[in-house]
Structure 1
Amino acid sequence: MYSLTFTISAFVTFFTIIDPVGLAPIVLGLTSQLDNAQRNSIITRAVLISAVIIAFFAFVGRFLLDRLGIQLYAFNIAGGALLFLVAVDMLFGRQSGARETKAEQEEALTREDISVFPLAIPMIAGPGTIATTILYVGLATPNPLNLLSVAAAIASSLLAAWIVMRSSSWIINHVGRTGILVLSRLLGILLAALAVQFIFNGISAFTHMEGLLK
């Protein structure tokens, strides 16, 4: 049965975990030596690569879980824990290790094409995004409307990331880095609450299943 609450949750979670606004200063820093045409080409390529990666895990993620013998409630708990770590880093203004390690960040500075690394992986389609995708597809299956909601949430978040990254100079000039940090912290609070809810849902499903087995 279609759920408006589920749809809203999917949109908020994907928008927060991809964090389009937070990508603006990163893109400017990594492409400071490039002209607008080169920057836009890299941004478009990064979003398309991210879309392919996310779609891959949306289609085969549940299959991989089944083959590994991992129940959805276990992935709820693990995914919630991972998202909570990302939320904590957002709240404290730290670079999330669930997205990009310090070593990866330093390596990115020496690469000419940053569309694959670090923009597509792990900044947009990182572990947090992949875990969220598998989690929401699992929760939406087999309801086609809920699956469509997840697809729309992913597509909207990627489109927002594309628009924001292409407008990064304008956003920095008008909103400022302080404004971006404030918004990132507000999104971090929402993500933390959603992450805790995922963990509670996983625990609830686990206890219910254990009760049925007994």
Structure 2
Amino acid sequence: MIELYISSLITFFVVIDPPGCAPIYAGLSSGASAVQRRAMAVRAVGVAAAILLVFALFGEDLLKGLGISLASFRIAGGIMLFLIALEMVFEKRTQRREDRAARIAETPEVEDVSIFPMAMPMIAGPGSIASVMLLMARNDGLERSAVVLAALATILALTLVALLAAGPIMRVLGARIEAVITRLLGVLLAALAVQFVMDGLQVSLR
């Protein structure tokens, strides 16, 4: 059971990548207050946990029932992620926030990134959904399934800690450095999105 827990833990850590999610979240939520960032971080991890739990228990049957292949899911997630990456690189989000703040200065609205793109497809993306479905399929029985879910819960807890710590760390770096990092992360995010699409196409064309 310990070996299963460790192997599952490593798998989820690599796929979800809590350290990698943190700076991306900081860039996406740069216009929010500390309270709003904490709320969005908790909401993002909570929603992602619910999505992954549903797919862990019913994922294979759900996709088959809807006639959706995992490859198609991977392509759709990649396209959505790529659109977010473009906004990060060209600072469209910053411009949109400034325009919105000018229009409604008394009640400034902060864009909620907790559901999209953080909860899905960043945390509960095609890779993590495929991983949890595969691990649950390979480990029948209540005890082994519980071990897999415990490993997933551990990584989600680490992800929450990483998201909560991301804002203060990025603020210490300063606005200019944060802008540079956000653009670099946007490029990396675009590459990740393209990889999702390529993986999906590769499976579809076999």
Report the TM range for the smaller structure's normalisation. 0.5 to 0.7
User: What is the rounded CA distance, in whole Å, between the counterparts of 1:109 and 1:75 in structure 2?
Assistant: 39
| Distance verdict in 2 for CA 1:69–1:143, change over 3 Å | same
Aligned residues: 181
Distance 1:201 1:74, change over 3 A: same
Partners of 1:48 and 1:95 in 2: CA distance? 22
Q: Does 1:142 align with 2:137?
A: no
Q: 1:60 aligns with which of 50, 54, 57?
A: 54
Contact 1:20–1:161, Cα closer than 8 Å, also in 2: yes
The 5 A counterparts of 1:10-49 are: 10-11=16-17, 15=21, 19-22=24-27, 25-27=30-32, 31=33, 40=35, 42-49=36-43
1:131 aligns with 2:121: yes
1:44, distance to aligned residue in structure 2 (A): 3.9
Closer/same/farther in 2, CA of residues 24 and 193 from structure 1, 3 Å limit:
closer
Show the counterpart of 1:200. Answer: 198
Q: Which moved more, 1:185-194 or 1:132-141?
A: 132-141
SS of equivalent to 1:143: helix
* Corresponding residue number in structure 2 for 1:36: none
What CA distance in whole angstroms lies between the structure 2 residues aligned with 1:108 and 1:164? 28
Amino acid at match of 2:188: L
What 5-or-longer segments of structure 2 have no aligned partner? 137-146
CA contact (8 A) 2:81 2:189 kept: yes
Q: Which residue of 2 aligns with 1:8?
A: 14
Post-superposition shift, 1:79?
0.6
2:83 is matched with 85
- CA offsets, 1:119-146, max 9 Å, x none? xxx3123145313414123320222698
Specify every segment of 5 or more residues in structure 1 that has no aligned partner in the other structure, as ranges. Answer: 32-38, 209-214
Tell me how large the CA RMSD over aligned residues is: 3.8
Between the aligned partners of 1:188 and 1:20, the Cα distance in structure 2 is 11
Higher mean Cα deviation, 46-55 or 69-78? 46-55
For 1:50 and 1:6, the matched residues in 2 are separated by 17
2:92 is paired with a residue whose SS is: coil
Corresponding residue for residue 160 of structure 1: 162
Tell me the TM-score normalized by structure 2: 0.66
Distance 1:152 1:87, change over 3 A: farther
Contact 2:15 2:127 in 1 (8 A): no
Distance 1:60 1:184, change over 3 A: same
The residue that corresponds to 2:143 in the other structure is none
Q: Contact 1:72–1:138 (CA<8 Å) still a contact in 2?
A: no
Return the match for 2:93 from 92, 95, 99: 95
Deviation string for 1:65-110 (max 9, x for gaps)? Answer: 44422111001111111111111211112219xxxx87xx669976
Over the matched positions of the two proteins, sequence identity in percent amounts to 26
Give the Å deviation of 1:203: 0.8
